[in-house]
Structure 1
Amino acid sequence: MPRFVLPAVEAAATPNEPGRASARIFAHGSFEARWYAPRGTDPQAPHGRDEAYVVVSGRGTFFCAGTCAPFGPADMLWVPAGAEHRFEDFTPDLAVWVIFYGPEGGEG
């Protein structure tokens, strides 16, 4: 039976995949949900697919494609494929859902 509710508390307890900074929680077609909770710094590199973040906890500044903006709980952040992005000056409790979707190169 498929799961329709993916609790954040379970996602937070899921270990990161080897070699990845996030844990894969769910996938269906091109949709992939991951849990990401960086500590200290955010060493991300651009990704090949479009992505969205939903902030569960924490605050800080989000840098994307040369622009910075503040973020907090319940905010959604969108990143086009290939864009340089990262969380900056964030609180130690930062935790986000990461949603990857679409083809390599984005849906542009």
Structure 2
Amino acid sequence: MRTTLLGAQTSLQSSPTQFVEMLRHGSMSVEWYAPEVVDLQQPHEQDELYVVVRGTGMFRNGNTTHPFGPGDVLFVPAGVEHRFFDFTADFGTWVIFYGTKGSEIQ
């Protein structure tokens, strides 16, 4: 399996949402996410990783808030409230969902 940033950006242009799924295998799914102005996400049922490709801004993960930029990897456990905010117009990130619903066993 393989996907590319260009393929993801092209697919997103024809999507009615701010994200598009690009790969899936078992419990793992990879999406390209590029919100416009406001991040409207709700907590997810699976653990997730964000791999920021472009843009900068702030990220709230539960009770913690910190800046983010290209090259950052952000982990969010299943069910935790999280949000990107004050992000630049060019912001885009890979999102990788994985594991069982309710989070991985530690």
Q: TM-score, normalised by structure 1?
A: 0.90
**2:79 aligned counterpart, secondary structure:** coil
**1:77 aligned counterpart, secondary structure:** strand
Q: Return the match for 2:76 from 71, 79, 86.
A: 79
Structure 2 letter corresponding to 1:66: N
RMSD after superposition: 1.4
Question: Which residue matches 1:39?
Answer: 36
Aligned residues: 104
1:69 and 2:66 are equivalent in the alignment: yes
Conserved 8 A contact 1:48-1:105: yes
1:7 and 2:4 are equivalent in the alignment: yes
- In the aligned structure 2, how far is the partner of 1:53 from the partner of 1:17? 20
Residue by residue over 1:23-61, the C-alpha shift from the partner in whole angstroms, topping out at 9 and shown as x without a partner, is 010001111000100010101110000000000100000
1:92 and 2:89 are equivalent in the alignment: yes
Question: Which residue matches 1:30?
Answer: 27
- In the aligned structure 2, how far is the partner of 1:92 from the partner of 1:76? 19
- In the aligned structure 2, how far is the partner of 1:63 from the partner of 1:17? 26
Per-residue deviation at 1:21?
3.4
Conserved 8 A contact 2:78-2:103: yes
Superposition misfits of 4+ residues, deviation over 6 angstroms: none
Conserved 8 A contact 2:56-2:87: yes
